[in-house]
Amino acid sequence: MTAQHGTATDGDIRIVGARENNLKDVSLTIPRNRITVFTGLSGSGKSSLAFGTVAVEAQRQLYATFNWFIRNQLPRYGRPHVTAIENLTAPVVVDQKPVGGNARSTVGTMTDLLSTVRVLFSRCATPALAPGGYSFNDPQGMCPGCEGLGQMRQVDVDRVLDRTRSLDEGAIRLPTHKVGGIDWQQYANSGHFDTAKRLSEYTEDEWRMLLYGSGGTVTVHSANTSTTLKYEGVVARFARTSLKRDLSTLSERARGNIEQFITLGTCTDCGGSRLGPDALASTIDGRTIADYSAMEISELVRVLGTIEDPVGSRIAADLREALGRVEAIGLAYLSLDRPTGSLSGGEAQRLKMVRHLSSSLTGMTYIFDEPSTGLHPKDVGRLGELMRALRDRGNTLIVVEHDPDVIAMADHVVDLGPKAGPLGGEIVFTGAYEGLRDADTVTGAALRRRGSVKEQVRRPTGKLSVEGADLHNLRNVTVAFPTGVLTAVTGVAGSGKSSLVTGAFRDAHPNAVFVDQAPVRASARSTPVSYLEAMDPIRKLFAKANKVSAGLFSFNSSGACGECQGRGEIVTDVAYMDPVRLRCEACQGRRFHDEVLAHRVRGASIADVLEMTAGDAAGFFTEPDIASRIGRLVDVGLSYLALGRSLSSLSGGERQRLKLASHLDRSEGVYVLDEPTTGLHMADVDGLVALMDRLVEQGNTVIVVEHNLDVVRQADWVVDLGPGGGRHGGEVVFTGTPRELLDEPRSATGEHLRRYCAT
């Protein structure tokens, strides 16, 4: 290990014998009131040390100080695998987990800034209402038409019903109304319709009865019972059960089954403001609270400065100070009415920081998970100012990062490695940033490396156009994306990249494969090998080789250990105590009972296979179907990942690359990737670019939304948006090759690319 040890001071966090996940009995000191950055390859153990060890133990001990009732409402953490941790302080964990929320959640509600705006209007508006009268989540204030959602859903009759068919031929397209099913029988058995008659031949009365009719009863039959139901028209029933439902709470499949039959538009009653007529009639200097919410934060700060009312000016001053903190983290282009579901991972994480920036608490430990995610190089400097401000108040910062500019801000660096997975889990360097640049580690070598822009670019085979895009801040944008090449879409945060690519481009070209940063939808027992649908062929291979049932080789079925039900551990959960997790002694943590483990293929049991890394497993399996699926993990830089690892333990970047791996079986298709370098070490970026190049060489088109300059410089084509964020963006400021981008004076990306290539 290369190390530069300073003198430990009283109060420094001391970790002894950390063994969480792949950590190999790690001991280190984290200096108090300093910024410490953890670096290393993806899977080297950074998160296991920062979050799985320090954050978990700090939260566990903090929660233990509360009474049992409060503790029962909080997340529960088991004791991490570590010999000792000394001098922990109260933690503030700012991770990349989705901010959550539903269709009613906005930037204003998430940050609680909208509450202050409502108080301001209740004091200063004319005519004034109670604060609840300005809330779209309160019956007093919400629009009665859309119930505070701002949008009106309508049933698309032409999608629900095929008028060229009869009921017998499946004229009702709803998935729940299969011919012969109970829902279908409500109409076929009603006596109102000739089931062999095409809907186009219905009389006006028959059509109205089918769509909106009511009255009377219908008897329907299942395999064993008969039931009498009230008659209700197809569209009327679907509208009642689905139109005003919060679809964000449903699974992706269930939501899709409903959304395909719904058209969604702005509520005509409130104009999308979500508010009722009384709230929209109440103004301050001619502006409603809806006007305040729709302004970009930078504009709202200016407007608040014009309030002269003695009471209101004090509230406005406090609000301006809070909004200024949102500006300071590079989000001045957002508005308070922006739905949280439309935020990128980086935007959501930075908004989480806002609630902590006004705190006067000291002696805290802030733990950040890649705070540069979603930030253009131009914006990283602001992030550094915020982190230094938190440090200077007397707080300790622990930051997991790959961005070289963020690493350079560190007072102290801890580099893990030397590689990833089983080959990682060790500290290979501790000390100052300058020492890391000279260190013989993968991170040190990556920091010293510089590259040039791609000179020999591919020739496009065609184009995919987006015309007149005006989503969010896009200003009637028309752009052609060349096919058969690698295109990088760049621009500062808020410039319109996601609106263009994952919004307008998705609408224009819905058949493209979109690999975004949404969470992987899987069960608590899902693993990388099951997500890639390789587990079934592996089970069949074991079953055929041993002449037994394939179900034996599933820890969710007959092969599971009877003691732990296939979990590999025994969890004892008592209401006011930490859950106690012990390795299952019956199966030694391997999830299967002994009979299953006795069956082998090439000397390995099914448990041995699940413990293999993707790299090892790709060499172990000779069967093409299995080897090709597992090989995709290697292709996306996840060779260190164990096949049986829980998906819930993966980082955001690992989950996104896993999603990409699941789509690597297409040719002559279009791949759209949203910041795939998230969570990726600098040394791994070249591997990702090589994968994207390979996809292009196979006949695909690849479009990647990225800030990473190593990706931008190696693209064939660049589409740069800007020139700024929010209302200062939304334009295409450049299209061309990376070489041509170096000469574009209006491009912030070009400016930083010139600096990067010249260093």
The yes-or-no verdict on residue 666 having pLDDT over 70 is: no
Average per-residue pLDDT in the chain? 89
Strand order in the sheet with 513-515: 513-515, 670-674, 701-705, 486-491, 717-722, 731-736
Dihedral, 448, 453, 455, 461 alpha carbons, nearest 10: 130
Q: 591-647, pLDDT tens digit by residue?
A: 999 999 999 999 999 999 999 999 999 999 999 999 999 999 998 888 888 999 888
For β-strands 13-18 and 82-86, DSSP reports them as antiparallel
Report the candidate in 178, 162, 170 with the shortest Cα–Cα distance to residue 195. Answer: 170
Most distant CA pair in the chain, distance: 90
Coil/strand/helix, residue 498? helix
Coil/strand/helix, residue 259? helix
The yes-or-no verdict on residue 90 having pLDDT over 90 is: yes
Superfamily of domain 107-150+267-328: ABC transporter ATPase  like domain (1.20.1580.10)
Amino acid at residue number 576: Y
For β-strands 426-431 and 2-3, DSSP reports them as parallel
- The topology (CATH level 3) of 153-266 is Helicase, Ruva Protein; domain 3 (1.10.8)
First to last CA, the chain: 28
Better-predicted residue by pLDDT, 253 or 675: 675
Q: Does domain 528-649 have CATH number 1.20.1580.10?
A: yes
d(CA 535, CA 204): 54
pLDDT score recorded for residue 4: 42
d(CA 370, CA 82): 24
Domain 2-98+344-448 and domain 153-266 have a common topology: no
Average pLDDT over residues 659-664: 87
pLDDT score recorded for residue 98: 62
Query: Tokens 């301006």 appear where?
Result: 320
Q: 167-187, pLDDT tens digit by residue?
A: 999 999 999 999 999 999 999
Percent of the chain with pLDDT over 70: 94
- The topology (CATH level 3) of 2-98+344-448 is Rossmann fold (3.40.50)
Better-predicted residue by pLDDT, 347 or 476: 476
Which class for 507: exposed (0-12), middle (13-18), buried (19 or more C-beta within 10 A)?
exposed
Quick one: pLDDT band at residue 576, thresholds 50, 70, 90? very low
Superfamily of domain 462-520+669-758: P-loop containing nucleotide triphosphate hydrolases (3.40.50.300)
Amino acid at residue number 287: R
- Least confident piece of the model among 474-483, 557-566, 730-739: 557-566
All structural domains of the chain with their residue ranges: 2-98+344-448, 107-150+267-328, 153-266, 462-520+669-758, 528-649
Quick one: pLDDT band at residue 6, thresholds 50, 70, 90? very low
Q: 670-683, pLDDT tens digit by residue?
A: 999 988 888 788 88
For residues 135 and 108, is the Cβ–Cβ distance under 8 A?
A: no
pLDDT score recorded for residue 234: 95
Other beta carbons less than 10 A from residue 358's beta carbon: 11
Q: 368-399, pLDDT tens digit by residue?
A: 988 888 788 887 887 888 889 889 999 999 99
